[in-house]
Every structure is written in C-alpha cells, then in structure tokens.
Structure 1
C-alpha cells in the first residue's frame, strides 16, 4: 500500500506544479531570467575574448579587469591625450550609435578652434604666448597663417626705411624693391643717383591711369617738401598746427582742415608740423605717439623737423621774423577755402567727369581743384600705417571674415592642425567599472 500512496502523492504534486507552471506570470519570470543569463554571458565572453575591436569606423578599447576605477580613468585620459588633437570628454546616457558626431560637426569644432587661436594671437602680449592661446592647448608654432591678417611688425619694419633718407643720399631708397629685398641693394653704380632723382613714392599703387593726374610726382614732391635735408637751416620755416578739436568736428572735418593747412604750408614754403590730435589721446597710443597723428600713420615730417619746430615755438625772435607760425595766424576762410597749390599746374582739368547732377555728368566745376588737392593731401598723410593701425584693421577683418577664412584653411590645410576629438563614455558602462570589470572607451 505504501508504494501506491507514494505514487498518488507524486502524481498530485506533479499536477499542481503543472498548473502553476502554466500560469502567465510564472512564464514571464522564467523567460526573463533565461534571457538575462544568456545576454550577460555573451557580453562578458566578448569582452574577455578581444582587447580591441572596431565597429563603424570607431575603435573600442578595453582596460584590464584588475584595474581600479581611478586607474581606469587616468589610463583613458592618457590614451586620448597621446593623440594629436584636442580632447573633450563627454559623458552621455544615450547609446553609442546615438552619440556619434557627424563629420560636419567635427569640422565645425576645428574651425572654431582655429578661429579662437587666431583671436588669441591678435591679443598676444609682447612677453610671449597669450594666456588664451595656452588655455586652448595650442602653441603658436602650430597655428596656420591667417590669410586675412597682416604681419604688422614686419610690415612696419619694411616701410620705415622707405620714409627716411638713405645715408648720404638725397632720396630714400625708393628704387629698391618694396620688401625685405631692399635690405640687399644692388651693387652701387654711377647710375644709382640718376635713377633716384626720378624715383616715385612707393606708397602709390596701380598705374597712372588708375590714379589722379600727376599723383606720383605730387606725392614725391610733398615728401621732399616735408623732409628737408637740414631742418636747422635758417631758411627752413615751419607751420605748427593742432587738429580741430571742437565737438562738432568729425574726423572728416579734421582731415579737411589739415589739408587746407598743408596747402598753406606748401604755398608759403613752410614745413607743416601737426601737434595735438584729440582722437589719439587715449591709452592705446603709447609714449610719444599719444595725442599725435603718428599713433595711426607715419608722421607728416621727420623727427628732426618736429624737434626744431617745437624749439622755435619758445623763441620770440622766431615768431617776429615769421620763421614759425601757428594755425591761429590764419583765418577760417584761408584754412577751409584757401588756394590750391599751383606749382604742378592745373592737373584737375584732365580729370574724367564724376559729378552726377540730375542724371548728367558735369565735366567741370569750381571745386575740382579742391577735390584733387584733398585727395593728394590725404594720400600723403596716410601714406604708411603704424603697427597700431595695422592691428586695429586686423581685428576688424577678423571679426568680418575670420570664420570664413578659418573654414577655408581647415578644409584645405595639409599640415598637422589638430582636429577636435570628442570622446563619448556612456554612463551605463561605469556600472561595470565600479565593479572592477572592463570598461569600454570610444574614441575617434
């Protein structure tokens, strides 16, 4: 009987288990448990089998199982720091596929980095690399040249000899090439002096047809007038004038007034020396260039003539003899509507008509001579930019065209300009790292 009762009990238990197993909640639990075991086994087997594998053009690296969380993080950083790019780690909870950046976005980051590097170079201090450039992690030697920016120091160094008389020469070295080649002049010959006498000012560009009539000759003659051989010669006279400083006068009115004073100086055979200039009265203009036109452009005359003129201003005898005069010696009509110098004839008569009145070009009018002269005077006063003005123009060009230039350089540059490498470490993987398991790092 005992075996019969035992079999009945087993049959009853089996039927009860079958009923419980056929319930829907139990089936869900069993299936979920089995799937979890399978996925975990497959994932761990893959990590332990391969040290590095590639997927979709990206490389997945693993860190040894025995490494601690702190050591794993440092190894990750060192691994990426060894590459030739700027490392920017980003932790995200999205999947690896969703974290991949497009090539266009990476290119935009490289453009922004180059634009920022150029911006830092514009503010670079004389003592060395700027702090901004160091924070970007880029050295000056690795930054490509900016096609829209000028080398202001080199440009000033090239122009300075062209605004001074050569040693024992009547004219500056205007017959040489305008550039560093001027430091290696040709062998001296008897023809050098003859050609120098016919040399023209190097700040005039383009052909004669592209400039006002007689521009090259007039610019040369104005320079010679403003730079006498001996400023202490008793026959040399001066006109010292401040720039207009009344609140209602803008830069255009100031320049127009100075053009009139230069015309007076040439007509009276005086050397014009400009004095106080309110628009240069700020901290950007250093040392002797403060409150002076020479902060922005090369001075209107030599330093020797400036020193001599200011010396004569303290001499009563010089004022009585008329060796020196000031702007106050002339009325406003003489300054603003005075006669144009006629030592070059009437070259404005050869100008093409440019004045449009009611749809018709006027070939001649009473102010053509004034227009021609102001163009000559302004061209002389602004013949060479200073390093400070060059820097201001660089900043303006960079703001206007910097991003476009950076994009052009990044897309065509064949050097080693770093690309920004974005590293994505999904936060889910830190769960494995915290337990001493292998950690996956994704890097470009």
Structure 2
C-alpha cells in the first residue's frame, strides 16, 4: 500500500483487537528487529542523552517556576507533571509500536504515526489525518527551534555577565553574534552516537555546576515562613509552561528511542525513559524548592543570573553551565534537522547530489535561523514558559492521548471505556495548559516591553 504522502506500507489485515503489549500478538513480526540504524546507541548512552537533553536551561528556571506556583504547590505539581510526562511518552511510543507492528514497518516518525492513527480511528477524526502531518511537524520544529534559541540566549547572557565583570561591557546581541561559529561547529556532528561523549561530558559538568550552585542556595537561607506555599492561580500557567518545557522533550525522546540498539529497554516503568525522567524530576524539585527558598520573588529566569557576578566561584558556575548548554544545543537541534532533511528534502529529492554536503548546508541554515530568532528574544524566563505551553501541551499531552484513542479504536478501551476517560482527562489538561499558558506568557512578554 502506498499512500498519498509516500508512506509505504505492506498490505496487512487489521487486527480485531489491539493488545497492549507485543506478546499478545499472533503475528511474529517485531518492528524492533527490523530497524536499521547506522550507529545505534546503548542503554547507557541513551540515558546520558536523556539527562543531557533535560538538564539544560529548564532546571535553572525552576526557582522562578516555584515562585509562580508556591513551594508546596510546586513540589506536588512537579512530581505529578513528571509522572504525567512519562506516562504520555509511554502512550506515544507504545502506540507507534502497535502501528509499526500492524503495518509491518520497522519505524514510523511521530507525524506518520499520527496520520495513520487518525486514518484508522473514529470516523469524525479521519479528516484530520492529512493535515496532522504538517501540524505535528510544525509544532516539533517550532519547539526545537525555541529550545535552541533559549539555549543561545542563556549562553550569551551568562557570557556577558562574565565579560562585563572582568573585561568590557558589550550588548548581549554582540555576544550572540560571536557565538555563531562555535555553535555551528558542534552542530555539524551528524549522528547521536558521536554526540554521546559530548553529552556525557556535559552531564558531568552539569552535576558539578549544580553542586556549586547548591553552595550558594544553602548559604544564609531565609525562613520558609517568608515564602508562599501556594501562589496566585494567575501565575500558575507560567509555572506549568516552564515545567513542561523542562521535562517534555518529545522530539528528542522519540529520536533517542528510534536510534537505540535495544529499543525494548526504553519504555516501561523501569525502562531507560522512566529512570531518566525520575532522576531529572527529583533534581528539578530540589533546585526549584531551594532556589525559591533562597531568592523568593527575586528569582530570575535562570538561577545563574541570581548568584553574585563578581565572585570567582560564580564565574566558574556560569562558565560550566554555558559549556554544558552549548553541548545540549547539538542534541536539541538534531530533531528539526532530521525532520526537515529526511521528511521533506530527501523525500522530495531522493536523487539529490552530494547529500552529505547538502545536509551540512541545512544544519548551517538552522543555526543561522536560530541565532536570528535569538536576537529577538527579550526575556529568557517568559519565552521558556511560552514554548513549553504553546508546543508541549500539544506534542506531549494532547496528541499522544488522541493517538491512543485512535489506535485502540473501536473496541479496545477496557472496562467501562476507562482508556477514553483517561485520554479525555489528559486532553483537557493539555488544552487548558495550551490556552492559559500561551495567553499568560504572551501577555507578560507584551507587558515587559511597556
């Protein structure tokens, strides 16, 4: 079977029931065994990438997130959102596996999976099948571009503080321009296997720098009575967007699973994904709670901006985090390049000459575009909340729930149709987060110019 958009699938009778795990299938086709990855990553390398992808600017924004939620609300909500993020990613990956097995293909991208699910789901949703490819790709590219822009601004802002204190005062835009060359060089690394050592080094730097930050956080700590347990409901959407931005790196997680040597170890409650996100969530709670306890309403979009500028230890911390986030840029940028290059350029021009050179060209263009956008980003914390609410409420919550409903259609929703009830609740959370978080972030960005 060959559909209009070029997704090639073997003719395969549809199952009357869609089981939850692959052991329940009569068909012995296992998509994982038919994947062909040039340089697959091991379980440990994948875990390293998860930690590196999640321990970026998001964890440094958690004190400000707790300011917008209150410390009790922040602790409980972060743990719940972490569990929800893992569960929704598991839904997404499991649904993709079911579709691959049903259609006897080794791998499907997120947009392809969404399209196939909608084609086979409830009739009133099927008209969304074709536009869903563009919608999912659009959100993925926008989000990953947003992350890359935030990373650039983060590095440039911290470098500016160091240079201002010891050398000469320059506009942050000048630092952004200077950083184009080093960011371009690391972005020319084309596969995840080669990025693994950089991610490992970045993780080591991050943990060392987090330990150093704790030195500042635990000094002269004020009484907890001076901090708010539950903040105003009006600021909670900013918290929600920040935490989603930090935890729900959908595009990266799917790419990591697709490139694993043993992808069966990725999913499940004791899988690589769950372990990685559990570690990250606990670290987010620690930094968020103690960062808010230390700085209160003065907490900024990155806790590195709160620590003193004129102390050697503070300079080292900012330098270490800047290097770690610099390494993360290549991992986050991997997703939009993969989408643009493989899904659009290669698919439409399969006989393109010098494909490696052309891919390098795409990578250079992506770097330039993210740097141009970074110049326009005025507020680090607000843009973190905006991209989290705008993109990840859809990619990480709403779309996986819709996909599961479609994949399990028509008669596999469990007792009392609990799957539909569960997915509808997730969809409602996603829509509320999308609307409230986007509105609040855009409103505060506009107000910041006044």
TM-score, normalized by the shorter chain, greater than 0.5: no
**Is the radius of gyration larger for structure 1 or structure 2?**
1
* Larger helix proportion of the pair: 2
Whose RCO is larger (CA < 8 A, sep 6+)?
Answer: 2
TM-score by length of 2: 0.22
TM-score by length of 1: 0.22
